[in-house]
Amino acid sequence: MPDLDSTWKEALEHYLQPFLALFFPKIHDDIDWTRGHEWLDKELHKLTRKDAVGERIVDVLVKVYRKNGKERLLYIHLEVQGSYEAVFPQRMFVYHYRIFNRFKRKVCSLAILADDRPTWRPKRYAHTLWGCRVTFTFPIVKLLDLMPRLAELEASSNPFAIVVASHLMAQQTRDDPVQRRIRRMGLYRKLAESGMSHDDIAELFHLIDGTMPLPAAEDELFWDEIEQYEKEKTMPHMTRIERRGLERGRVEGRVEGRTEGRVEGRAEGRAEGQVKLLLRALERRFRVAVPEELAARIRATTDLNLLEQWFDWTLEAASLDDFKQRMQIP
């Protein structure tokens, strides 16, 4: 089974700004992106860890700044492959209040419904007693509504639109692995020819891999097609064994990060997992022991974006010396 939790959370963290531009443009335009934003998932976990929730739930909490200079909190709840749940609106209300009570800041709660049930659209919670009434409404996006716009999403320059397109394609091809392979290859070709940066193409390909998994036989055919396409386009190429080994290592790094993150904080755990992944990737890619000076610099780094950029360089660099030059190590 694909790890949709991890894939969607990574997509939100990597592409928060394009996500809001696609689904909530008024919110996007009211945020001062020059001031950056801060993920508060550790704090969110403290507020929600005692609750019994379903398996397919992604929650993120991020601190942003409006253009008027005021600090605000953005709570995004993603119900992945969910189904009808009577208490869903109540849970949105409870989490909204807990966040407000903890930080004493105004909170905007958003729900993204990625399930395949067209009529399930929870967006309001209310209760009354003896004249006392509470009403809570929250904006939702139903990804299934975007199915008629699938071709537009595929052709979009917004990276998060590609993530949504892959999710919708996965729903369409749930029982047809051959068609899924064909559609996934089509997405890869569009990405490769899109003019996006190498980093975006690599990240989106990784996310598509998470949302559109293939059975073993179709997966082998897919990689054959990838290799043939890259040869024809004279694109940077690695052997299938190297590429698949590195992709497997990326998954292992995410799993290690999530496991360690439950104890030490998700971001710190992911960084440690990414360090281990990068060191293994260098050894597999260049088949040499990683020099101590290089290993020490990698271990001392906690910036996830930088570690992931270095990982991508293992795919691009022609040799270990080339990799070190990119890191400006003599």
Residue 55 has pLDDT above 60, yes or no: no
Among 13-17, 57-61, 76-80, the range with the most confident prediction by mean pLDDT is 13-17
Q: Is 41:16 a contact under the CB 8 Å cutoff? A: no
Please state the rounded mean pLDDT for residues 78-107: 83
Provide the sign of the torsion angle of the four alpha carbons 289, 295, 296, 299, taken in this order: negative
Banded model confidence at residue 316, pLDDT cuts 50, 70, 90: confident
Helix (H) or strand (E) holding 285: helix 266-286
Banded model confidence at residue 122, pLDDT cuts 50, 70, 90: very high
Provide the sign of the torsion angle of the four alpha carbons 285, 287, 288, 292, taken in this order: positive
> Cα Rg for the chain, rounded, in angstroms?
21
The rounded Cα 237 to chain-centroid distance in angstroms is 25
Helix (H) or strand (E) holding 189: helix 177-192
How many residues are there in the chain?
Answer: 330
Q: Is 87:59 a contact under the CB 8 Å cutoff? A: no
Lowest mean pLDDT among 162-176, 181-195, 253-267: 253-267
**Mean pLDDT value across the chain:** 81
Strand partners, 126: 135
Query: In this structure, which amino acid lies at residue 87?
Result: V
| Backbone torsion region of residue 29, taken as left when φ is above 0, otherwise alpha when ψ lies between -120 and 50, otherwise beta | alpha
Please state the rounded mean pLDDT for residues 204-225: 88
Domain boundaries, the chain: 4-138, 150-229, 242-326
The two three-digit tokens of residue 329, written as one number: 């190590």
Which residues have CB under 8 Å from 270's CB, separation 6+?
A: 253, 254, 257, 258, 260, 261, 304
Question: Which is higher by pLDDT, 50 or 278?
Answer: 278
Residue 40 has pLDDT above 70, yes or no: yes
Percent of the chain with pLDDT over 90: 33
CA atoms within 13 A on the CB side of 199: 9
Which among 248, 156, 260 has a CA at the least distance from the CA of 206? 248
Which residues have CB under 8 Å from 70's CB, separation 6+?
A: none
Burial of 270 (0-12, 13-18, 19+ CB in 10 A): buried
Percent of the chain with pLDDT over 70: 82
Question: Which is higher by pLDDT, 63 or 200?
Answer: 63
In three-state secondary structure terms, 34 is: helix
Residue 215 has pLDDT above 70, yes or no: yes
Query: In this structure, which amino acid lies at residue 41?
Result: D
| Backbone torsion region of residue 108, taken as left when φ is above 0, otherwise alpha when ψ lies between -120 and 50, otherwise beta | beta
C-alpha–C-alpha distance, residues 191 and 4, integer Å: 21
